[in-house]
Amino acid sequence: MAQATKNVIVTGAARGMGAAVVRKLAKRGANVVAVDREPKGLKALKDELAGQPGAVETVTADAGSASDVKAYVEHAAKRFGGVDGIFNIAAILGEFRPIAESSNEGFDEVIRVNTKSAWLGMKYAIPHMIARGGGAIVNTGSYLAWHGCELLGPYNASKHALVGLTKTAALEYAKHNIRAFILCPGSMDTQMNIDTAAGFNPKNTEEGLRQLAASTATGRVADPNDVATVGCFLLLDAPLQMTGTLIPIDGGRSAM
């Protein structure tokens, strides 16, 4: 079912897991529209990948803004002749506070960036995938998409909601050959992991990092490239009968 060249949108693309995904897709020959709010990171990534089999277009945008999402989806469709997939990665942690001490504004922003962004991406990309005869959606969840965690209530809620959205998309659009997945990493060697460690252990970030690694069965955090490899498989290679699934990559933590 795979076409020779796929055209994919990746949000949260300027660094970490998002940048790793763009690198792998471009090297595989996929054309990528890389989206982020950080123009410097996007430029560096585009310069790095010049000459790869797949073309990389960069767009500085807010993935939680309906007008921005509609614009970059339309740009991708026009630039590459269609959209075959979207990988929604953009996310923020939000406040580290108990529920009763969390701010209304903080909750709204986490839901906007983490959940509404994926909903918007699907909303505007799905019609283009239908026009192409199928496609793939990968939403980025978390180990916390089906577990609780103190101090990160809004983040937990945003990722739990993504599970429901992804499963709904899989059911609604399977007849159009569109597959939908939610990829659920545990701790990764990224800036967000450092921020997480600092949030849980503000007096000793290094100890917080050790604690995050120790919470896995493997005793280490994931390399973003490992998670990106699975995400690219879901976008480019997974069969039609594989859809609506939650895929943990959390060092065995979900088995503990």
Q: Which amino acid is at 219?
A: G
Binning pLDDT at 50, 70 and 90, where does residue 5 land?
Answer: low
- What is the CATH superfamily name and number for domain 7-186+222-251? NAD(P)-binding Rossmann-like Domain (3.40.50.720)
> What is the model's pTM?
0.95
Residue 3 has pLDDT above 90, yes or no: no
For residue 60, the SS3 value is: strand
Structure letter (DSSP) for residue 126: H
Number of neighbours of residue 210 by Cβ within 10 angstroms? 14
Q: What is the pLDDT of residue 255?
A: 87
Burial class (CB in 10 A: 0-12, 13-18, 19+), 65: middle
At 20-38, the pLDDT tens digits run 999 999 999 999 999 999 9
Q: Which of 124, 143, 155, 173 is catalytic?
A: 155
Q: Catalytic site residue 124? A: no
What is the percent of the chain with per-residue pLDDT over 90, rounded to a whole number?
Answer: 96
* Six-digit token string for 248: 């943990």
Token pair in block for residue 173: 């659009």
| Domain locations in the chain as residue ranges | 7-186+222-251
pLDDT surpasses 60 at 2? no
pLDDT tens digits, 110-140: 999 999 999 999 999 999 999 999 999 999 9
The residues that bridge with 2 in the sheet, in sequence order, are none
Give the Å distances, CA to CA, from 237 to 35, 85, 136, 203, 212: 23, 12, 10, 44, 31
User: What confidence tens digit (pLDDT) does each residue in 217-251 have?
Assistant: 999 999 999 999 999 999 999 999 999 999 999 99
Residue 156 half-sphere exposure toward CB, CA atoms < 13 A:
13
